[in-house]
Amino acid sequence: MNVVLTDIETKEIMPGYHGKMIHGETMTLAFWEVEEGATVPEHSHKHEQIMQVLEGTFEFSLNGLAKLYKPNDLVIIPPFAPHSGKAITPCKLMDIFSPVREEYK
């Protein structure tokens, strides 16, 4: 299957988080454009997640420890680990989730 990112509809999953989702059999890939100041409240989920900052500065908290992340930084988020985030500047992020994030379809 061939997918062109520009052909994928953007969905605002939460205020300020505009995502393009690609779903495989066992994973979801998400490309986010995040507005400056947009936050993700603390939450957890069954999915293993890997986040990469592509552009901007993103404050990310994992298990209560906050750190600033910049382009090329990666975070590995284990299943059920509490995490949250805030865009310090406009950001572009990429997330990989396994298993598939059905609620993003």
Q: Per-residue pLDDT tens for 40-67?
A: 999 999 999 999 999 999 999 999 999 9
**36-46 in b/e burial notation, b at 16+ Cβ within 10 A?**
eebebeeeeee
CATH number of 25-104: 2.60.120.10
Alpha-carbon gap, residue 66 to 97, rounded angstroms: 21
Ordered by start, the domain boundaries in the chain are: 25-104
pLDDT digits over 4-45, tens only?
Answer: 989 999 999 999 999 999 999 999 999 999 999 999 999 999
Contact of 10 with 18, CB cutoff 8 Å: yes
Q: Which residues contact 37 (CB under 8 A, 6 or more apart)?
A: 16, 86, 87
CA distances from 96 to 9, 26, 37, 48 (A): 18, 11, 22, 8
Q: What is the DSSP letter of 100?
A: -
pTM beyond 0.85 = yes
